[in-house]
């Protein structure tokens, strides 16, 4: 079976695992919402919250990403399934793309909830003029995060102390997404007088990031999980 066929199978399997275990719904979403509430407690000022809301949404996304990636690979390593996939000669590129697709879907749900939480808790206002930029930002940033998460999740999967290793490895790498996505979201929401045209250059960075990690991950994933 070709890499795309395997990718579809792996993505469907990962989403089925999530559907049956409900970890995203019962644990990750409440965790992410709690992080948003804690930010609100810590800053405790409506004006400040509205100004920093885009950054807080993306920070909460990054923290939640770590949990989702840990879970995605814990499922594979608990009973040696990732090893079994390698032994069975299943194409690593297909595994990478499939796990990235499933992660992308889960992150999309998570980000919708976080944006909803920002509207309710931080009084963030959405503007019709920024909708296209906002959607493009979410698609590009989420794709990049899904690729990085899968790549580093695979890298840490076989390592000792992977729970602590993953944040150390991954958070510095996703810093460009945090910066780019925050700036583009600020532009889409019109934070502090920003306009949508201010955000489009950041979309270039997000797309470049996603493309680099998508291509790199597809090529390197086999060697990474072999280690």
Partner 1 sequence: MRLVDVVAVLGGFPALAGASLTVERGEIVLLRGPNGAGKTSLLRLCAGLLAVERGQATVLGCDLTLDRAAVRRRVGLLGHANGLYADLTVGDNVRFWGDTVGATEREIAASMERMGLANRLMDVPVGRLSAGQRRRTALACLVARRAELWLLDEPHAGLDAAGRDELDQTLRAAAAAGATVMVASHELERAGALASRVVEVVGGQVRGAA
Place of tokens 């469907």: 12
Of the CA atoms within 13 Å of residue 171, those in its CB half-sphere come to 14
Our CB check for partner 1 shows the closer of 91 and 183 to be 91
Our CB check for partner 1 shows the closer of 88 and 128 to be 88
Instruction: Identify which range of 6-14, 45-53, 137-145, 185-193 contacts partner 1 by CB under 8 A.
Output: 6-14
Residue among 11, 62, 90, 174 that touches partner 1 (CB under 8 A): 90
Dihedrals φ, ψ of 158, to 5°? -95, 0
Q: What is the CA radius of gyration of the chain?
A: 18
CB of 3 to partner 1, least distance (A): 12
153, 73 Cβ separation under 8 angstroms: yes
Question: What's the rounded Cα separation, in Å, for the pair 121 and 128?
Answer: 20
Question: What's the rounded Cα separation, in Å, for the pair 191 and 56?
Answer: 13
CB of 216 to partner 1, least distance (A): 22
53, 180 Cβ separation under 8 angstroms: no
Site for partner 1 in 12-41 (CB under 8 A): 13, 16-17, 20-21
What is the per-residue binding string for partner 1 in 46-85, x denoting contact by CB under 8 A?
-----------------------------x--xxxx-xxx
CB of 66 to partner 1, least distance (A): 20
Question: What's the rounded Cα separation, in Å, for the pair 175 and 110?
Answer: 19
Residue among 9, 67, 105, 126 that touches partner 1 (CB under 8 A): 9
Q: Give the footprint of partner 1 on this chain (CB under 8 A).
A: 1, 6, 9, 13, 16-17, 20-21, 75, 78-81, 83-85, 87-90
């Amino acid at each position: 079976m070709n890499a795309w066929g395997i990718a579809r199978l792996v993505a469907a399997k990962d989403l089925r695992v999530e559907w049956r275990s409900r970890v995203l719904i019962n644990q990750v979403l409440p965790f992410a919402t709690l992080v948003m509430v804690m930010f609100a407690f810590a800053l405790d000022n409506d004006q400040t919250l509205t100004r920093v809301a885009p950054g807080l949404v993306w920070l909460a996304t990054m923290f939640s990403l770590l949990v989702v990636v840990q879970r995605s690979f814990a499922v594979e390593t608990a009973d040696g399934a990732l090893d079994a996939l390698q032994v069975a000669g299943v194409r690593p590129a297909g595994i990478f793309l499939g796990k990235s697709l499933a992660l992308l879907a889960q992150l999309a749900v998570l980000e919708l909830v976080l944006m909803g939480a920002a509207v309710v808790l931080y009084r963030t206002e959405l503007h019709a003029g920024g909708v296209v930029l906002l959607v493009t930002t979410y698609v590009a940033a989420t794709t990049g995060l899904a690729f990085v998460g899968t790549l580093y999740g695979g890298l840490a999967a076989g390592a000792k102390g992977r729970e602590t290793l993953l944040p150390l490895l991954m958070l510095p790498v996703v810093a460009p997404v945090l910066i780019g996505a925050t700036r583009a979201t600020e532009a889409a929401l019109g934070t502090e007088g920003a306009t949508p045209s201010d955000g489009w250059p950041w979309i270039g960075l997000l797309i470049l990031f996603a493309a680099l990690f998508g291509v790199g991950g597809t090529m390197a994933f086999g060697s990474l999980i072999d280690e």
